[in-house]
Amino acid sequence: MPKVQCMSRNKLQLTLPTLEPEYVFQAMSEVYDWGLRDLHIPEIHRETQGEGIAIAVIDSGKSEHFEVTNNTLGGKNFSDSPVVEDKNGHSTFVSGIIAAEKNSEGVIGVAPKSKIYFIKAMDDAGRGGPAQLVQAIEWAIRQKVDIISISAGMFVDFKPLHKSVKKAYDKNIIIVAAAGNTGTRHYDVAYPARYPEVIGVAAYDIKHKVAKFSSRGLNVSFAMPGVDIYSTWLDHQFVKNNGTSFAAPMLSGICALILAKHRSLGGKSKTPCNTPKQMLEHLVKYAIDLGDGKKASGFGTIDAKSMFLLDEPAEPTEPKPTPVIHKPVPKPKPRRVSSPFATSSRKKIRPSKRWYLAYRKKMMRRRRR
């Protein structure tokens, strides 16, 4: 993770830390670093390996390591160096964490089938300026990358840098950046990780303790493995290194796996990640608190295994049938059946008194006969 220096001519300058790589014996087979095993990346690789995802690595140049050669889309140089290739080693190490191939030797990256654009913003001595960082981000936007991974930063807010970050964010490009290696010496993390549009990453060790060197601040989003990380180095070597610079590409690789998985589902995922905001919400949903406090580890690390096991395709939503409204059938009125025993429903007419007396006389005459 670079630190910022103020030059005598009042020019801001980023300087990569002097790395002290630990050279190790290489096994005669490919291996997963402890950080990848801690995140359950080997199990996730059964489902996806980051196919079709383009990542811009803004760092110290284009890696020539055989582990990433086939996963390189191109490179661009904005530094003061005359060559685009990495002569420092920082970029080579970062890119191996993201996209080292599965080829039966060396190491395996988090997203071994993702593709990388190498953008050189730091020269061969590890120095660069914020203006070069801005140029690198602008070029990455024009390449229409999916993710920008930045293992560089400074503790001074450079307005043009924030403008470029916002532009990438609005283009739905996910930006991941290292928090910094200043421990508790600064009140917050470095820029651009401090910007709200960026996912800032701290580092923790194999015991899940946030590293002492990892910068603290309210703008830390997550923590990833960043101590004794094993990856690619200059001259096709493999070494171990420490730093939030190497925790950030862990999360960049996980984002690549998520995007590849979601795209393979054809937009049918229960939790879409089409925008940086959706990606952040998705990561937070599966965050595990490390217990070091939000300033040290943000939301914590990521339960990547559960994320990929539980994020199944959404069940197809069949169109609801139009409800059929059944009108109540009126009950038939009972028919009046005429019966000899039925009484008439007509109103009875009461006979007059005169008619009744005449009728009575008539009946009395019949009886006499």
Domain range summary for the chain, segments of one domain joined by +: 3-310
pTM summary value: 0.81
Name the region of 4 (left: φ>0; alpha: ψ -120 to 50; beta: rest): beta
Given a contact cutoff of 8 angstroms between Cβ atoms, the answer to whether 21 and 239 are in contact is: yes
pLDDT greater than 90 at residue 62: yes
Q: What is the C-alpha to C-alpha distance for residues 141 and 144, in angstroms, rounded to an integer?
A: 5
Amino acid type, 166: K
Grade residue 266 by pLDDT with cuts at 50, 70 and 90.
Answer: confident
59 tagged catalytic: yes
How many angstroms separate the CA atoms of 351 and 40, rounded? 108
Q: Which residue, among 296, 297, 290, 289, has the nearest Cα to 216 in the 3D structure?
A: 296
Q: Which two tokens stand for residue 204?
A: 């923790």
Is 162 designated active site? Answer: no
Average pLDDT over residues 189-195: 94
Predicted confidence (pLDDT) per residue in 301-333, tens digit:
999 999 987 765 545 445 555 555 555 656 666
pLDDT of residue 350: 63
- Phi, psi torsion values for 103, nearest 5 degrees: -140, 25
pLDDT value of residue 365: 72
Query: What are the helix (H) ranges across 126-266?
Result: 130-142, 159-170, 248-264
Query: Class of the 3-310 domain?
Result: alpha beta
- Residue 260's SS3 state is helix
pLDDT-derived band at 5 (thresholds 50, 70, 90) equals very low
**Of 60, 95, 215, 245, catalytic:** 245
Least confident residue range of 23-37, 202-216, 278-292: 23-37
Greatest CA separation for the chain: 158
Is 364 or 77 the better-scoring residue by pLDDT?
77
Over residues 68-77, mean pLDDT = 98
Q: Are 215 and 180 in contact (CB under 8 A)?
A: yes
pLDDT for 6 equals 36
- C-alpha distance from residue 202 to each of 89, 169, 183, 214, 321 (Å): 21, 21, 10, 6, 51
pLDDT bin (cut points 50, 70, 90) of residue 361 is confident
Told to judge if 306 belongs to the known catalytic residues of this protein, a careful annotator would answer no
- At 334 the three-state DSSP class reads coil
Residue 8 is predicted with a pLDDT of 31
Q: What does the block give as tokens for 131?
A: 């203006």
Q: Residue 269: which pLDDT band, with cuts at 50, 70 and 90?
A: confident
- The whole-number average pLDDT for the span 269-298 is 92
> Where does 104-244 show beta strands of DSSP type E?
115-120, 127-128, 147-150, 174-178, 199-204, 222-225, 229-233, 237-241
Q: How confident is the model at residue 171 (pLDDT cuts 50, 70, 90)?
A: very high
Integer-rounded Cα radius of gyration of the chain:
39
The answer on pLDDT for 4 being more than 50 is no
- Band of pLDDT at residue 150, cut at 50, 70 and 90: very high
Active-site entry in 33, 59, 146, 311: 59
Q: How many CB atoms sit inside 10 A of residue 39's CB?
A: 26
Marked catalytic residue, from 90, 162, 262, 282 = 90
Provide φ and ψ at 201, rounded to 5°.
-125, 125
For the ranges 279-288, 330-339, 346-355, the lowest mean pLDDT is seen at 330-339
Residue 38 φ then ψ, to 5°: -65, -35
* Two tokens, residue 317: 């939503």
Reported as a single tens digit per residue, the pLDDT across 197-248 is 999 999 999 999 999 999 999 889 999 999 999 999 999 999 999 999 999 9
